[in-house]
Amino acid sequence: MIAVTFLGTSAALPTTERNVSSFMLQREGEHFLFDCGEGTQRQMMRYGTGFGMEEIYFSHYHSDHTLGLPGLLRSLGMMARTAPLRLYGPRGAHKHLGALVALGMERVKFPVEIVEVTPGQVLKHGEFDFHVGEASHRGDCVAYSLVEHDRLGRFDPELARSLGIPEGPRWGEIHRGKPVTLESGRVVQPAELVGPARPGRKVTYSGDSAPTDAMLHLAVGSDLLIHEATFGEDERERARETMHSTAREAATVAFEAGVGRLVLTHISARYTREAPELLAEAKAVYENTVIARDGMTVEVLFKTER
SS3 content of the chain, % helix, strand, coil (to 5): 30, 25, 45
58 contacts 98 by C-beta, under 8 angstroms: no
Q: Count CB-CB contacts under 10 A for residue 224.
A: 24
217 contacts 147 by C-beta, under 8 angstroms: no
HSE-CB of 31 using CA atoms within 13 angstroms: 13
3-state class (DSSP) for residue 68: coil
Q: Which of 35, 64, 208, 223 is catalytic?
A: 64
The DSSP 8-state label assigned to residue 149 in this structure reads P
The CA radius of gyration of the chain, in Å to the nearest whole number, is 22
3-state class (DSSP) for residue 56: strand
Displacement of CA 217 from its chain's centroid (Å) = 16
Which residues are registered as beta bridge partners of 134? 142
| Backbone phi, psi, residue 122, to 5° | -120, 120
Sign of CA pseudo-dihedral 1, 224, 116, 56: negative
For the question of residue 208 being annotated catalytic, the response is: no
3-state class (DSSP) for residue 88: strand
Provide CB contacts within 8 A for 83, sequence distance 6+.
Answer: 54, 110
The length of the chain, given as a count of residues: 306
Displacement of CA 250 from its chain's centroid (Å) = 16
279 contacts 288 by C-beta, under 8 angstroms: no
Active site residues: 64
